[in-house]
Amino acid sequence: MLDIITPLLELMPDTITVKSVVQSTGFGAETPGAARTYRAHVSGTQQQVRNQDGKIVRASYVAIVAGTGFKVTDIVTLPERFSPREPPIISIDRATHEGGAHHETIYF
């Protein structure tokens, strides 16, 4: 359940669209599910992060998203000012407090 404070939402002027993969053939063909939109703060900040294999790689974009439960297999569409608009997800960090998870940071 999303437990985010209203002032934090004011710092998220962007909208991203997320589609979770609902079916995968195992041969690279994936079927995306329904699109969901989330408020976010997306920037072209480059930084080093660990990918799913534990290797340190450089992320080109960062999205702080008012939502939780994202997976690296999700398909994220960024705002129009970014290119590419659907970069692969490198890693995801979850922010929590005493009320539970309230936002995630997605690295592309």
Using alpha carbons, list the distances in angstroms from residue 17 to 35, 40, 54, 55, 57. Answer: 6, 10, 27, 27, 24
In a domain, 57, yes or no: yes
CATH code for position 90: 2.40.10
Domain total in the chain: 1
Prediction pTM value? 0.84
* pLDDT tens, the chain, 108 aa long: 355 667 788 899 999 999 998 776 667 667 788 999 999 999 998 999 999 999 999 999 999 999 889 999 999 999 999 999 999 999 999 887 777 667 899 999
CA distance 65 to 98: 19
In a domain, 68, yes or no: yes
Domain that holds residue 33: 6-107
In a domain, 13, yes or no: yes
In a domain, 1, yes or no: no
Neighbouring-strand partners of residue 76: 18
Q: Which residues contact 95 (CB under 8 A, 6 or more apart)?
A: 101, 102, 103, 104, 105
